[in-house]
């Protein structure tokens, strides 16, 4: 069971923002999200990427400002409806969406899937729904992007049993009870942020989401400092999570990050054939 990753948008930022020792050259970062077919659960999405709910139409002022600052350049062929169609699927076929954290670039397409079960950190969502808007804003979270019934559709990641992940990665929540996809806690970037280990692939894959923004930044000495450290929910936890991801790669695992500008063999080709 191999996931594929689509690119929903490009966000162009100076390299030194995400890589220590990087240049001022502006680099188009991808905004990936994943799709795989589980033999029992059917089509599953990993996050939803950026979509028009961030860039167009009626939105709160905060979301409009956020959009103006980041200026995501949406990829039409990379939006969930187009990607699913390419894979022979419709949004209604997606029964499960794994939400790694609640940042705008991961949840902007949730409204397309009003029936899907959401696998996420239930306590983090509860906190988001309770706390005042300015606190969420400070954390890069916009309530406007979260469907009103979201909490009622959440299956809590932390309620799922643990299983040992390969290559010394440690314990992960066995999301489908068959050892195929393990949710690995990688705190620091955002509260409750987790990655996914596809443990049974010939080379185990860790989708480490936003543990860093490019593969080189996992290395000691290449991790970005200010202002990236300012955005992190918990810089110390982020450093520890980065070490965990790097150790997995050094042990022979493969790592994919949401925003890495480099092509991955898990990426869907940019254009339909
Ligand atoms: Zn994020």
Span 8-21, pLDDT tens digits: 999 999 998 899 98
Alpha carbon of residue 228 to chain centroid: 17
CB 4 within 8 A of CB 205: no
Domain for residue 266, yes or no? no
The answer, yes or no, to whether the previous bond of 227 is cis (omega within 30 of 0) is yes
CA dihedral sign of residues 210, 54, 74, 71:
negative
Q: How far is the CA of 89 from the centre of ligand 1 (A)?
A: 27
Q: How far is the CA of 103 from the centre of ligand 1 (A)?
A: 5
CATH number for the domain that contains residue 131: 3.60.15.10
Name residues whose C-beta falls within 8 Å of residue 16's C-beta, 6 or more positions apart in sequence.
22, 23, 24, 224
- pLDDT top residue among 137 and 172: 172
Domain for residue 111, yes or no? yes
Q: How far apart are CA 216 and CA 260, in angstroms?
A: 9
What is the structure's pLDDT at 230?
67
Q: How far is the CA of 105 from the centre of ligand 1 (A)?
A: 7
Closest to 259 measured CA to CA, from 207, 222, 219, 221 = 207
CB 213 within 8 A of CB 261: no
Q: How far apart are CA 259 and CA 172, in angstroms?
A: 23
Q: Within a 13 Å sphere around the CA of 52, how many CA atoms are in the beta-carbon half? A: 9
Q: How far apart are CA 247 and CA 168, in angstroms?
A: 8
Helix (H) or strand (E) holding 66: helix 61-70
Q: How far is the CA of 139 from the centre of ligand 1 (A)?
A: 9
Q: How far is the CA of 17 from the centre of ligand 1 (A)?
A: 15
DSSP 8-state code for residue 16: G
Question: Do the strands 154-156 and 162-165 form a parallel or antiparallel pair, or are they unpaired?
Answer: unpaired
Q: How far is the CA of 144 from the centre of ligand 1 (A)?
A: 17
- Using a cut of 0.85, tell me whether the model's pTM lies above it: yes
Q: How far is the CA of 270 from the centre of ligand 1 (A)?
A: 23
Domain for residue 218, yes or no? yes
Domain for residue 139, yes or no? yes
Domain for residue 23, yes or no? yes
Q: How far is the CA of 109 from the centre of ligand 1 (A)?
A: 15
Domain for residue 11, yes or no? yes
- Write out the two tokens for 11: 């966000």
DSSP three-state, residue 76: helix
Q: How far is the CA of 190 from the centre of ligand 1 (A)?
A: 6
Domain for residue 263, yes or no? no
pLDDT tens-digit readout, 109-150: 999 999 999 999 999 999 999 998 888 887 889 998 999 999
pLDDT tens-digit readout, 173-224: 999 999 999 999 999 999 999 999 999 999 999 999 999 999 999 998 898 8
Domain count, the chain: 1
The arithmetic mean of pLDDT across residues 102-107, rounded, is 95
Torsion angles phi and psi, residue 82, rounded to 5: -65, -45
Q: How far is the CA of 152 from the centre of ligand 1 (A)?
A: 23
DSSP 8-state code for residue 264: -
What is the structure's pLDDT at 116?
98
Domain for residue 269, yes or no? no
Q: How far is the CA of 258 from the centre of ligand 1 (A)?
A: 9
Q: Within a 13 Å sphere around the CA of 164, how many CA atoms are in the beta-carbon half? A: 3
Q: Which structural domain, as residue segments, surrounds residue 88?
A: 4-257
Q: How far is the CA of 168 from the centre of ligand 1 (A)?
A: 25
The pLDDT mean for the chain works out to: 93
Q: How far apart are CA 9 and CA 59, in angstroms?
A: 19
Q: How far apart are CA 195 and CA 249, in angstroms?
A: 14
Q: How far is the CA of 273 from the centre of ligand 1 (A)?
A: 31
Closest to 211 measured CA to CA, from 264, 260, 156, 261 = 260
Res 229 pLDDT > 90 = no
Q: How far is the CA of 253 from the centre of ligand 1 (A)?
A: 22
Q: How far apart are CA 153 and CA 106, in angstroms?
A: 17
């Amino acid at each position: 069971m191999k996931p594929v990753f689509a690119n929903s948008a490009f966000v162009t930022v100076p390299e030194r923002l995400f890589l220590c020792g990087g240049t001022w050259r502006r680099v188009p970062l991808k905004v990936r999200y994943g799709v795989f077919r589980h033999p029992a659960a059917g089509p599953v999405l990993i996050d939803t990427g950026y979509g028009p709910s961030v860039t167009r139409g009626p939105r709160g002022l905060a979301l409009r400002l956020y959009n103006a600052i980041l200026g995501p350049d949406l990829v039409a062929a990379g939006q969930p409806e187009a990607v699913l169609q390419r894979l022979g699927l419709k949004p209604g076929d997606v029964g499960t969406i794994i939400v790694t954290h609640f940042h705008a670039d991961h949840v902007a397409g949730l409204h397309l899937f009003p029936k899907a079960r959401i696998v996420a950190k239930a306590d983090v969502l509860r906190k988001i729904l309770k706390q005042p808007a300015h606190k969420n804003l400070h954390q890069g979270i916009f309530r406007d992007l979260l469907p009103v019934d979201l909490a009622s559709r959440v299956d809590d990641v932390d309620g799922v049993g643990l299983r040992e992940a390969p290559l010394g990665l440690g314990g992960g929540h066995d999301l489908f009870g068959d050892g195929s996809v393990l949710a690995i806690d990688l705190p620091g970037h955002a509260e409750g942020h987790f990655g996914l280990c596809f443990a049974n692939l010939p080379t185990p894959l860790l989708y480490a989401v936003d543990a860093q923004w490019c593969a080189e930044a996992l290395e000691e000495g290449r991790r970005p400092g200010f202002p990236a450290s300012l955005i992190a929910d918990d810089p110390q936890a982020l450093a520890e999570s980065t070490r965990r991801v790097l150790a997995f790669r050094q042990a022979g695992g493969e790592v994919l990050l949401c925003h890495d500008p480099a092509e991955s063999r898990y990426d869907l080709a940019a254009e339909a054939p």
